Amino acid sequence: MQNTIEICILAAGMGTRMKSSKPKMLQPIAGKPMLLHLLDTAAELNPDRIHIVIGSGADNVKSLVSRQEVNWVLQAEQKGTGHAVMQAMPEFSSSSKVLILLGDAPLLRRCTMEKLLSEECDLGVLTVDQPEPSNYGRIIRNGQQIIAIVEERDANKEQRGIREINTGVMVASARQLQEWLPHIETDNDQEEYLLTDIVKIANQLGAIVRGVKTQDHQEVQGINTFAQLASAERHYQQMTVRGLMDQGVHFVDPNRVTLRGKLLTGQDVSIDVNCIFENDVSLGDNVQVGANCHIRDSQIGNNAVIKPNTIIDGAVIENDCSVGPFARIRPGTILEDKVAVGNFVEIKKSTLGRGTKSSHLTYLGDSVIGEEVNIGAGTITCNYDGVNKHVTEIGDNVFVGSNTALVAPVTIGEGSTIAAGSTITKEVSDKSLAIARGRQKNLRHWKGPRSK
């Protein structure tokens, strides 16, 4: 048995059927380019080397991946899958077993790769029973031996009835690939070097060719159109959500949630419909997430309630907090225990201390706010002077009246009260009442404008 494993990913296709300027391998599934999905899974096998064959949009593809273990192989002219492997052939160690993957089939699981690698054979072919096998190469067997892969256009009526199809994923020793590949010819409709031809060649040379069948045809589906990309996206989401439900997460409707990264959850988490989770998100025990929320790169503590239509990005929400509905929590924000943030409140790069409340219609930016502070409706921190950002500091137990403007840099001492409608430009000392508004004047017997 070979001492090392090398992986060769065929990723040279442009994807002309998508009619996109972006290389096909860079189209996203769950917010991540499909090539990275496959590369991350392949890396879990700890191969000796990973070779990626690139062609169309090569520079864009290379700029996406910064991994030392990746060896880039250029297929300047796309002359078929066999030709692609030929370009990588000089890079393989002769003692390696080579796993050949397709970059446009990104949802292949690690366990499937391992099963194929463990098969005792000279050439292993990953197959699947396809409910609609049209346009796929049919697997022709003689007992356990695969003797041929027949393309749809070449198949007779009996062969077209075969549901077991070729996925394009194969494994063989580098030494045998070096022996077989030179025998591939271009006598086909595409006039290309097709990798599937090595099945016939291996049989002619007396090799053992075995098929390993996966039970999930969606796992190996190729992606050439946006319709297929959408199908792969839905399959990925269903698999990921099912795994979280198995861990105890309650999704009100598992078909109406989108995961674009890693979601870690505690016990008794409930997630309503149409929520999006991006990058790294963690939810503590007993967290409730309402409908239509978008949470990205954030940590949410135990017993937090995230009400509908709330956006949280790059924030830390600690225990027993209530956020929303229609709140926007921006990067750099920390809400300590028992903070309540209500509707149409926007917070950016600010810390709100334990028990502080901002119930509605407020902007808090670049602020350090103490404990048990009440922020009235219509309050804003004026943190930007046109050039620089400035900090507003508010001590514990401050009451800020409605429609207050806090012009930073400014400090509000603990226990103070800011009268409604004030514009505060100077420091307010502890336990003071600050009133900063024009005096009211009432004119009696006022006769307003009259129409002529």
- Per-residue model confidence as pLDDT tens digits over 268-287: 999 999 999 999 999 999 99
Backbone φ, ψ for residue 360 (5° rounding): -170, 150
The token pair at 222 is: 């190729």
Return the closest-CA partner of residue 198 out of 138, 143, 146, 162.
146
- Residues spanned by the domain of 108: 4-214
Whether residues 208 and 256 share a domain: the answer is no
As a whole number of angstroms, the distance between CA 314 and CA 253 comes to: 26
**Domains in the chain, number:** 2
- Per-residue model confidence as pLDDT tens digits over 157-181: 999 999 999 999 999 999 999 999 9
Q: Residue 65: pLDDT band by 50, 70, 90 thresholds?
A: confident
Does a structural domain hold residue 245? no
Residue pair 241/259 in contact (Cβ under 8 Å)? The answer is yes
Residue pair 126/112 in contact (Cβ under 8 Å)? The answer is yes
Q: Look up tokens 């012009």; give the residue.
A: 407
Whether residues 170 and 267 share a domain: the answer is no
Show Cβ contacts of residue 346 under 8 Å, excluding neighbours closer than 6 positions: 327, 328, 330, 362, 363, 364, 365
* Amino acid code (one letter) for 302: N
What's the rounded mean pLDDT across residues 370-384?
98
pLDDT at position 151 is: 87
Q: By percentage, how much of the chain surpasses pLDDT 70? A: 98
Does a structural domain hold residue 115? yes
pLDDT at position 1 is: 44
Residue pair 27/20 in contact (Cβ under 8 Å)? The answer is yes
Among residues 214, 230, 261, the one where a domain terminates is 214
The token pair at 243 is: 């795994």
What's the rounded mean pLDDT across residues 355-376?
98
Residue 349 vs residue 448, higher pLDDT: 349
Positive or negative CA dihedral for 148, 150, 154, 155? positive
Q: Residue 211: pLDDT band by 50, 70, 90 thresholds?
A: very high
As a whole number of angstroms, the distance between CA 172 and CA 212 comes to: 13
As a whole number of angstroms, the distance between CA 286 and CA 266 comes to: 7
CA distances from 168 to 102, 124, 218 (A): 7, 11, 14
Question: In the predicted model, what is the mean pLDDT of the chain?
Answer: 94
CATH number of the domain at 60, please: 3.90.550.10
Does a structural domain hold residue 345? yes
Whether residues 116 and 174 share a domain: the answer is yes
What's the rounded mean pLDDT across residues 319-333?
98
**Is the per-residue pLDDT at 2 higher than 60?**
no
**Is the per-residue pLDDT at 354 higher than 70?**
yes
Does a structural domain hold residue 226? no
Q: By percentage, how much of the chain surpasses pLDDT 90? A: 87
**Is the per-residue pLDDT at 407 higher than 80?**
yes
SS3 content of the chain, % helix, strand, coil (to 5): 20, 35, 45
**Is the per-residue pLDDT at 439 higher than 70?**
yes
- Per-residue model confidence as pLDDT tens digits over 16-27: 889 998 889 999
Whether residues 18 and 83 share a domain: the answer is yes
pTM across the whole model: 0.90
pLDDT at position 346 is: 98
Whether residues 267 and 313 share a domain: the answer is yes
Whether residues 276 and 143 share a domain: the answer is no
Return the closest-CA partner of residue 213 out of 174, 243, 172, 169.
169
Does a structural domain hold residue 451? no
Q: How far apart are the first and last CA of the chain?
A: 102
The token pair at 394 is: 């508010």
Whether residues 198 and 256 share a domain: the answer is no
**Is the per-residue pLDDT at 307 higher than 90?**
yes
Q: Look up tokens 């902007």; give the residue.
A: 363
SS3 211: strand
Whether residues 127 and 191 share a domain: the answer is yes
pLDDT at position 248 is: 97
What's the rounded mean pLDDT across residues 233-243?
96
Return the closest-CA partner of residue 315 out of 367, 366, 359, 350.
350
What's the rounded mean pLDDT across residues 331-358?
98
Does a structural domain hold residue 235? no
Residue pair 372/389 in contact (Cβ under 8 Å)? The answer is no
Does a structural domain hold residue 442? no
Does a structural domain hold residue 236? no
DSSP state of 59: H
pLDDT at position 189 is: 78
Whether residues 194 and 317 share a domain: the answer is no
CATH number of the domain at 327, please: 2.160.10.10
Whether residues 181 and 33 share a domain: the answer is yes
pLDDT at position 3 is: 66
SS3 26: helix
Whether residues 275 and 412 share a domain: the answer is yes
What's the rounded mean pLDDT across residues 79-96?
95
Q: Residue 134: pLDDT band by 50, 70, 90 thresholds?
A: confident
Active site residues: 360
Whether residues 194 and 305 share a domain: the answer is no
CA distances from 245 to 242, 289, 305 (A): 5, 15, 19
Q: Is 150 exposed, middle or buried (0-12, 13-18, 19+ CB in 10 A)?
A: buried
The token pair at 397 is: 């137990």
